[in-house]
Amino acid sequence: MGGWRERWRAWWRKPQTVTPVSTGVVWRLRVDRDRAAIGRFNERLETTLLPSVPEAALRAIQISVDELLTNVLMHAQQASGAIDIQLARSPGAVDATIEYLAEPFDPTTWKPLPMGDSIQSARIGGRGIPLVRQLMDEFRYQHIDGRNIVELRKKC
């Protein structure tokens, strides 16, 4: 009975690439396109997940979600509206889905520019998405009906 949301979602849209097996604990949140709202979300994430998620996994999720939300805020100027986030606790993992209206941008295929030969020649920025790749066990992307959908999974 707990999988009705997943079946409905699969019927309504293309099947999800990350199919969370929810234990019934699902959080749906909306974050305004504002840096302070991202900070408040990060604090709420900690208080919500820390009782049931190991701290190392929680920190990896916090860093990854914060980085991706900040990228939307800073680089997706054509994005509109709030950013929808769904978190699901499943046996052995936490799944996060980030959705927002914008032109397609696939962070899973984005390649950073070279770092430079010295501190003086190094660019600021461009390190967040590679960090997300390292921290998450799964990192997937879809663009459906004008919405960028980024799916993350952290095993714990």
Q: State the pLDDT at residue 119.
A: 63
Do 53 and 74 contact (CB within 8 A), yes or no? no
Alpha helical stretches, state H, the chain: 4-12, 35-49, 55-75, 128-135
pLDDT band at 49 (very low <50, low <70, confident <90, very high): confident
Residue positions counted in the chain: 156
In a domain, 132, yes or no: yes
In a domain, 87, yes or no: yes
* Six token digits for residue 84: 């929808």
Q: What φ, ψ does residue 119 adopt, rounded to 5°?
A: -60, -40
Mean pLDDT score across all residues of the chain: 82
In a domain, 3, yes or no: no
Do 18 and 154 contact (CB within 8 A), yes or no? no
pLDDT band at 8 (very low <50, low <70, confident <90, very high): very low
Give the CATH number for residue 96. Answer: 3.30.565.10
Domain that holds residue 142: 21-155
pTM of the model: 0.76
In a domain, 56, yes or no: yes
Average pLDDT score over residue span 70-80: 81
CA angle 136, 137, 142 (to 5 degrees): 80
CA–CA dist 133, 129 (Å, integer)? 6
In a domain, 45, yes or no: yes
What are residue 80's DSSP bridge partners? 101
Instruction: Name residue, tokens 């770092």.
Output: 115
Of the listed ranges 84-93, 101-110, 116-125, 128-137, the least confidently predicted one is 116-125
In a domain, 11, yes or no: no
In a domain, 12, yes or no: no
Strand order across the 138-144 sheet:
25-31, 80-90, 93-101, 147-155, 138-144
In a domain, 9, yes or no: no
Q: State the pLDDT at residue 136.
A: 97
Residue predicted with more confidence, 128 or 1: 128
Number of structural domains the chain divides into: 1
